[in-house]
Chain A
Amino acid sequence: MRIALFVTCLNDTLFPATGRAVVRLLERLGHEVVFPRAQTCCGQMHYNTGYRRDAQRIAVHFVRTFSDAEAVVVPSGSCAAMVRDNYRRLAEPGSRLARQVENLLPRVYELTELLTDVLEVRDVGAYFPYSVTYHPTCHGLRMLGLGSRPYELLQRVRGLRLVELPEARECCGFGGTFAVKNADVSAAMAADKLGQVSATGAEVLCAVDNSCLMHLGGTAQRAGTGVRTVHLAEILSSTEQEPTVP
């Protein structure tokens, strides 16, 4: 299958390893990955902060960039949810954008959805010899309804020991601009989430969203706790020959 990668602006700039991991993983599974160069961002930050018109412009750019794609993969739960849930709310009913959105949406997938629903693969042939706990990020959990998909993929990674995270459904406190506008509450939420992560004894905390991992990883680093944060794509792309080192 020919799959267009929407790497997301955050991954592109700060977490390019996640984008590289998606490419490596999908190519290993025998698919072709294309990277439409015109892509920029999904508009989530503008939308969630109240800048609707800016978000609309970015959405127009997104649907134009990906309109011809056979499938679009997004290695970010919140960006995938932005496109899938909120583009409909951004487009005026009956508008050109609304038609383009309806046309494109069924082909936009978060990474674990693409793997399990479209490519119908659970064992991606990965090797990652660490104990891992998974944080189901809010947008992945509630807006996309990823459910058991990430766990099914992780369970089949050789060498990986999956440890259950208590109170997993609770938000980590990132929330985009919330992390800055309500920094005290956000930091308290991150500290509690990290407390839960530490209690599992896992070496690696994994999620499908680098924004949440950036928040939790930055908190862990400042606090001097040993847990390392790794995007799920980097675990799934890891092999004995080319291991991902957390």
Chain B
Amino acid sequence: MSTAFMGMPGFPRAARAAVNDAQLRSNLRTATRTIREKRDAAVSELDDWQDLRAAGQAIKNRTLRHLDLYLERLESAVQAAGGRVHWASDAAEANRLVTRLVRDTGESEVVKVKSMTTQEIELNEALGQAGITAYETDLAELIVQLSEDRPSHILVPAIHRNRAEIRDILASHMAEWGTPAPEGLTDDPRALAEAARRHLRDRFLTTNVAVSGANFAVADTGTMVVLESEGNGRMCLTLPRTLISVVGIEKVVPSWSDLEVFLQLLPRSSTGERMNPYTSTWTGVAPGDGPEEFHLVLLDNGRTNALSDTVGRQALRCIRCSACLNVCPVYERTGGHAYGSVYPGPIGAILTPQLRGTTAEPEASLPYASSLCGACYEVCPVSIDIPDVLVRLREQVVSQPGHRSEKAAMRAAGWVLGGHRRLGLAQAAATAARSVVPRRLPPPASAWTDSRDLPSVPGRTFREWWRDRAEGKESGA
């Protein structure tokens, strides 16, 4: 399904380049550490954080168990409020729908609110092929778009760039897309923000169609909710005449009192803020206020597949806060591009293979892109047990064809470990060979000896020592 990521190598190969990129490593380390510390401080202020987590988990689980019910309730409420609802089973269908809706307006430009869902379906590329230009209005997304790059983080798409790189991108590319950057632009954050503000202001005032996602969709009232930090989203949601929102079916929450829990969990987890700077809600259409036309495109695109897996479905609880990315030691050293997926980091490693299947690269390698350290589970505001899902997905990957040498080795090891006599024989063989073990081994063991020495094999195993001691050959240690 994915054109931009087609031909992406598996994670280990993509990660190698990132690990060796000193600038990238330094940018990522600085950024993730900053957000991590902010999040820790914001979360530690709340005595009831664990209760909130449990509430978030429970609401999402209940909603997912009765998803059909809440989706129908959402559809009725949106229609009652004057909106129109469209169902898309996959990316292609969603893109066709949105393209048609934009064409119906007679416009050839849209402004966009930052949205992971539209990235997932590669909407901008699809619109582009139909002759419609999509303008990203989130500052970080704008930087990514101007530099023809790919996002590297769920919340901070340009996390892999530092200020100097951002200055260069704005200075050299803004003019191609509209209002140019001012002469002599510096890398002062205020100057960079001002350049973006001027560039975007012209865009907001001249574009009649907006495309968004939604963080939440309240079933009871048919209300869409977007949380953002810059205010650009609010401009897109209120100024254009037509608003099209592409929303994954798992984003539904039953009621406003459920929403309350997530409005506490999300900002503290994602940006380390107590309250979100811009929380916009919209319900259908209202005369003289906001868009005249509202379309909701409800997207499946693999989500019911994920829902059918009793362990893996917890990934659908994700509220895209990206806390797991910011604590993940693997993400910190590779950045998002290595994951070959719009959803990077630990959540991407379990979400992407479930949405797209595990038969192709990079999906097949993603469940292994973790040391299972558990830091992601610890910070997740809706308690997604990411390590557990990773292990389940590994089971799925090894049940497919391939992995032949590993399967043989694992079977052999399983046989050896099936009984202590077999283990004893294997240990004896290792001990006998201890003096001839070379310091650098051939593949795949070379992956170990490339950077680490092997421990020397002792002359006697523990069980031999124990036996000798019991037989009185030796006393004490």
A residues with a Cβ closer than 8 A to B are 7, 9, 11-17, 19-21, 23-24, 35, 37-41, 43, 45-52, 54, 57-58, 61, 89, 138-139, 141-143, 169-171, 173-190, 214-215, 217-219, 221-222, 242
The minimal Cβ–Cβ distance linking B17 to chain A, given in whole angstroms, is 9
Tell me the interface secondary structure of chain A in the complex. Answer: helix
Contact of A14 with B457 at beta-carbon distance under 8 Å, contacts A37-B463, A51-B414, A182-B368 already known: yes
The minimal Cβ–Cβ distance linking B438 to chain A, given in whole angstroms, is 14
A40–B455 CB distance below 8 A? no
Distance A13 CA – B396 CA, assembled complex (angstroms): 31
B330–A182 CB distance below 8 A? yes
Q: Of the candidates A19, A40, A138, A222, which one forms a contact with B462 in the assembled complex, judged by CB atoms under 8 Å apart?
A: A19
Decide if B121 is an interface residue (CB 8 Å cutoff). no
A89–B420 CB distance below 8 A? no
Residue of A nearest to B390 (CB): A48
B371–A219 CB distance below 8 A? no
Decide if B458 is an interface residue (CB 8 Å cutoff). yes
Q: Of the candidates B19, B375, B391, B419, which one forms a contact with A185 in the assembled complex, judged by CB atoms under 8 Å apart?
A: B19
A175–B410 CB distance below 8 A? no
Distance A49 CA – B416 CA, assembled complex (angstroms): 17
Interface residue range, chain B: 35 or more
Which residues of B from 1 to 57 have beta carbons under 8 Å from A? Answer: 11-12, 15-16, 19-20, 25
Report chain B residues within 8 Å CB of A189: 329-330, 333, 371
Contact of A46 with B333 at beta-carbon distance under 8 Å, contacts A13-B457, A20-B465, A185-B15 already known: no
List, sorted by A's number, 11 A–B pairs whose CB atoms are closer than 8 Å.
A13-B461, A43-B417, A45-B413, A46-B410, A170-B329, A171-B373, A179-B447, A182-B11, A183-B12, A184-B20, A218-B448
Distance A70 CA – B274 CA, assembled complex (angstroms): 50
Q: Of the candidates A61, A178, A218, which one forms a contact with B370 in the assembled complex, judged by CB atoms under 8 Å apart?
A: A178
Closest 10 CB pairs of A and B: A175-B371, A50-B394, A218-B452, A171-B373, A183-B447, A54-B414, A19-B462, A16-B462, A187-B451, A138-B373
Query: What string of 1s and 0s marks CB contacts (under 8 Å) between B410-442 and chain A?
Result: 110110111110010001001000000000000
Contact of A180 with B448 at beta-carbon distance under 8 Å, contacts A41-B417, A188-B19 already known: yes
Report chain A residues within 8 Å CB of B19: 184-185, 188
Decide if B145 is an interface residue (CB 8 Å cutoff). no
Contact of A48 with B452 at beta-carbon distance under 8 Å, contacts A89-B388, A180-B445 already known: no
Q: Which of A39, A141, A186, A221 has the most CB of B within 10 A?
A: A186
Which residues of B from 107 to 153 have beta carbons under 8 Å from A? Answer: none
Distance A174 CA – B455 CA, assembled complex (angstroms): 14
A52–B395 CB distance below 8 A? yes
Decide if B444 is an interface residue (CB 8 Å cutoff). yes
Q: With A58-B414, A217-B453 given, can you name 16 additional A-B contacts, CB distance below 8 Å? A: A19-B466, A20-B465, A35-B466, A40-B417, A48-B394, A50-B398, A51-B414, A54-B414, A58-B418, A89-B388, A138-B374, A139-B374, A183-B450, A187-B450, A188-B25, A218-B455
B369–A9 CB distance below 8 A? no
Q: Of the candidates B411, B419, B452, which one forms a contact with A222 in the assembled complex, judged by CB atoms under 8 Å apart?
A: B452
Query: What string of 1s and 0s marks CB contacts (under 8 Å) between B207-230 and chain A?
Result: 000000000000000000000000
Report chain A residues within 8 Å CB of B476: 24, 242
Distance A46 CA – B373 CA, assembled complex (angstroms): 17
Distance A169 CA – B334 CA, assembled complex (angstroms): 19
Contact of A171 with B414 at beta-carbon distance under 8 Å, contacts A50-B395, A142-B377, A180-B447 already known: no
